[in-house]
Structure 1
Amino acid sequence: MKSVLIIYKSKTGFTKKYANWILEDVACNVATFDKVKKEDIDKHNIIVYGAGVHAGLIPGLKKIKKLVNFNDKKVLIFATGAAPNADEIVKPVIENNLADCISKVDFFYFESGINYENMGFFSRGLMKTFSKILNAKKDKTDAEKEMSTMIMTSYDNSKKEYVKPLTELLKEYQGK
């Protein structure tokens, strides 16, 4: 059976929660982004990287691209974010982060939420500013109306069932 390493970067806890849900379904090792070493990556056949989307970018992905030989390993990437899993959300995330390697990775987006209590001062300020701008906008779309209400307080829309397509693919890659 092929070995799996999940590497995750989590600021507010949502990405960690999803990494743990994957771990519950698939035999694998887990490492935080800050502690993973190239030697850890080299020991595994399948690499899963997860992080929360911030301003359309997946933090840490540039480093992962340098550490992982995408031609030599199966690579799955998941991103978590406050926005729903919709094409207009996911497509720009892929274009901004994976344009150079999308043919070599499997990508998944998991809706999560907002956790102001675990956010840093700067991120919390950005979100509050965005909320005010969105609230002041005239002629909001239905999605913008919903988002302006949702981002005013912390919320959690993460669900274990969202990881099922990823875990099924992992099991297939492992040879189960």
Structure 2
Amino acid sequence: MKDTLVIYKSIYGSTKKYAEWIRDELKADFIGIDDVNPDDLYEYDNIIIGVPVFAAKSIRMSIIKKLLLKREDTRIFVFFVSRGQISHQDLYLDLSRRLRKDMRHRLKSYVFPGEINYVKLSLKHKAALGIVFRHLKRIVPSKRDEETQKFIEFYGKHVDFTDKKAIWNLIADCRTQKT
């Protein structure tokens, strides 16, 4: 039995950066989500999956469900990377809704701050962020929370909020929750 596998999907690089940091800290195996063979996952006690918020729906829930059904002791850790207006609670609820109730306790999730380089964004992502920006700009400045203000301030610029310290809760949980 192997200990930990880190699986990731990265569009612009932030998620891969976090996945590499986690891999290095845990001395884990490492693979891109598109290269995963579901049959190989049964060898691991811990599966860590990292996805950017843009691709949160791309988590292959069929793999997770199959894994949780076949190995009751496998623990799943999911981290999302975002530099936008999204709450951890919203992401967790969306993810947990796609799992049976008896599986949810084996899933832990985290949100890490990401990087946005507007020059590198696809047209689709630029358009989506433009809609969010226009919506948030309508909020009276005195009513804006810190995240909203940051989003407005940095819109259209290259900003990098990735921070290796963000992974420590996930690392600690993975190390201390061993069965």
What TM-score, normalized by structure 2, do the two folds share?
0.81
- Quick check: 117-126 or 137-146, which moved more? 137-146
**Other-structure match for 2:159:** 155
**When you count helix as a share of all residues, which structure comes out higher?**
2
Asked if structure 2 preserves the Cα contact closer than 8 Å seen for 1:47 and 1:76, the reply is: yes
Cα distance in 1 between the residues matched to 2:22 and 2:172: 10
Asked if structure 2 preserves the Cα contact closer than 8 Å seen for 1:83 and 1:113, the reply is: no
**Other-structure match for 1:30:** 30
Cα distance in 2 between the residues matched to 1:9 and 1:164: 20
Structure 2 unaligned regions, length at least 5: none
- Is 1:171 aligned to residue 170 of structure 2? no
In structure 2, the CA distance between the partners of 1:169 and 1:138, relative to structure 1 (3 Å rule), is closer
Question: Following TM superposition, by how much is the alpha carbon of 1:149 offset from its aligned partner in structure 2, in angstroms?
Answer: 1.4
Cα distance in 1 between the residues matched to 2:81 and 2:17: 10
Question: Following TM superposition, by how much is the alpha carbon of 1:37 offset from its aligned partner in structure 2, in angstroms?
Answer: 0.6
**Other-structure match for 2:52:** 52
Cα distance in 1 between the residues matched to 2:91 and 2:133: 21
Per-residue CA deviations over 1:51-85 (Å, capped at 9, x if unaligned) read 01139x4432424424422634111111111148x
Asked if structure 2 preserves the Cα contact closer than 8 Å seen for 1:131 and 1:152, the reply is: no
Asked if structure 1 preserves the Cα contact closer than 8 Å seen for 2:53 and 2:81, the reply is: yes
Asked if structure 2 preserves the Cα contact closer than 8 Å seen for 1:79 and 1:108, the reply is: yes
1:1-176 matches, cutoff 5 A? 2-54=2-54, 57-69=56-68, 71-83=72-84, 89-99=87-97, 100=99, 101-138=103-140, 140-143=143-146, 144-173=148-177
Cα distance in 2 between the residues matched to 1:162 and 1:92: 19
Amino acid at match of 2:61: K
Asked if structure 2 preserves the Cα contact closer than 8 Å seen for 1:53 and 1:59, the reply is: no
Per-residue CA deviations over 1:122-147 (Å, capped at 9, x if unaligned) read 11221123223322444541332332
User: Alignment length, in residue pairs?
Assistant: 171
Per-residue CA deviations over 1:150-172 (Å, capped at 9, x if unaligned) read 23322111111111111122223
Task: Compute the RMSD of aligned alpha carbons.
Answer: 2.5
Cα distance in 2 between the residues matched to 1:160 and 1:52: 16
Amino acid at match of 1:62: M
Cα distance in 2 between the residues matched to 1:151 and 1:82: 10
Identity level (%): 21
